[in-house]
Amino acid sequence: MFTAEGTGKNIEQAIENALFELKASREDVDIKILNEGGLFKKAKVVVTISEDAKEKYQKKFASRKAEKEDKSDENKKEVSQKETNLQNKEAKSKEIKETEKTVSMQENSEKTDNEIDDKLVTEKIEEREIDLSESSDDVCMDAMEFLKGLFEVAGKQVEINVTEDEKYITYSVVGENLGDMIGHRGDCYYAINRILSAVTGRQEKRILLDIGGFKEKRVESLTKLAQRMADRVAKSGRYARLDPMNPSDRRIIHSALSEDGRVVTLSKGEEPKRYVMIFPKDDE
């Protein structure tokens, strides 16, 4: 603690190096030369705090040691605080991820449940449709009786209103939570329509069905699509091909553009992938 060894190109440099290591002044030390150095050797000295200056340097060394310990404690506290902050951050991030995962699982579960419900309803309807198609043509049911029974089995509380004109008899079903009876893009709705047509047989007036206002919304949506595509065809002079549709949706497209003098429509392809094409009037 009170002695340091120094080396250098010459004795003065060796002494300076030893004093720097001791953090001492030249007047407070005793110097012993071990090697004066030479062409291929470095100078080497031993510097020792003199007896009369030891008490002063003992205080310095003690103060320096305390400062180092305090600094070390501060560094430890800082490192500990950083580790704590990092752990808190990681814990919070983990909690957020777990929460997001839980919410995602719930949403996926709800989505899956809805898809399963729609699929089950469609499968039951299609099974019923197959049974009906194999039955005798002489067996007919009352449309109102069939619809009441269907929605009762499905657990739906509904009100069925009937309107009639010269060509059609329309049954409008009103109630809550009817989405699974309509299905994705109306799959269940159209399946119920086919069954209704099968069970009621040939009638003087055509029977139409509307569930939860779907028919009106579908007509409005497809009419807007038809008009938008007609505008595009008329402007570009090039035909447009729509996605495959069921016969009912295709009729809506044809009807919406029947009086549009700019375009003509044509159904092409084979069921169930039959589609509508819209051509400029000049290409007729």
Residue 221 lies in a domain: yes
For residues 191 and 126, the answer to whether their CB atoms sit within 8 Å is yes
> CA 68 to CA 110: how far, in whole Å?
62
pLDDT at residue 24, rounded to an integer: 80
How does pLDDT run across 194-249, given as a tens digit for each residue?
898 888 888 888 888 999 988 889 899 999 999 999 999 999 999 999 999 988 89
What confidence tier does 136 reach under pLDDT thresholds 50, 70, 90?
Answer: very low
Question: Partners of 159 in the beta sheet?
Answer: 174
Report whether pLDDT(121) > 50.
yes
In this structure, the strands spanning 206-211 and 168-175 are: parallel
Report whether pLDDT(20) > 90.
no
pLDDT at residue 108, rounded to an integer: 52
pLDDT at residue 283, rounded to an integer: 55
What is the CB neighbour count within 10 angstroms for residue 144? 13
pLDDT at residue 129, rounded to an integer: 47
Mean pLDDT of 67-79: 70
Q: Is 208 helix (H, G, I), strand (E, B) or coil?
A: strand
pLDDT at residue 256, rounded to an integer: 94
pLDDT at residue 280, rounded to an integer: 93
What confidence tier does 99 reach under pLDDT thresholds 50, 70, 90?
Answer: low
**Which one is predicted more confidently, 134 or 10?**
10
DSSP state of 205: S
pLDDT at residue 25, rounded to an integer: 80
Q: How far is CA 44 from CA 21, 35, 93, 243, in A?
A: 14, 5, 60, 95
What confidence tier does 172 reach under pLDDT thresholds 50, 70, 90?
Answer: very high
Residue 171 lies in a domain: no
Residue span of the structural domain in which 25 resides: 3-49
Residue 40 lies in a domain: yes
Report whether pLDDT(133) > 50.
no
Residue 75 lies in a domain: no
Residue 238 lies in a domain: yes
Report whether pLDDT(263) > 90.
yes
For residues 241 and 270, the answer to whether their CB atoms sit within 8 Å is no
How many domains in the chain? Answer: 2
Residue 21 lies in a domain: yes
Mean pLDDT of 116-125: 55
End-of-domain residue from the set 49, 65, 81 = 49
**Which one is predicted more confidently, 112 or 16?**
16
What confidence tier does 111 reach under pLDDT thresholds 50, 70, 90?
Answer: very low
Lowest mean pLDDT among 45-59, 67-81, 113-127, 199-213: 113-127
How does pLDDT run across 79-97, given as a tens digit for each residue?
777 777 777 777 766 766 6
- Those residues with Cβ within 8 angstroms of residue 85's Cβ, 6 or more apart along the chain or in another chain: none
Residue 194 lies in a domain: no
What is the chain's mean pLDDT, rounded? 80
Q: Is 280 helix (H, G, I), strand (E, B) or coil?
A: strand
Give percent of the chain with pLDDT exceeding 90.
Answer: 30
Residue 106 lies in a domain: no
Q: How far is CA 263 from CA 179, 256, 267, in A?
A: 35, 11, 14
Residue 225 belongs to domain with CATH number: 3.30.1370.50
For residues 267 and 278, the answer to whether their CB atoms sit within 8 Å is no
Q: Which residue is associated with the tokens 């399946």?
A: 191
Q: How far is CA 89 from CA 22, 28, 82, 169, in A?
A: 45, 54, 10, 66
**Which one is predicted more confidently, 110 or 56?**
56
Q: How far is CA 155 from CA 2, 12, 202, 241, in A?
A: 96, 104, 29, 40
End-of-domain residue from the set 30, 49, 68 = 49
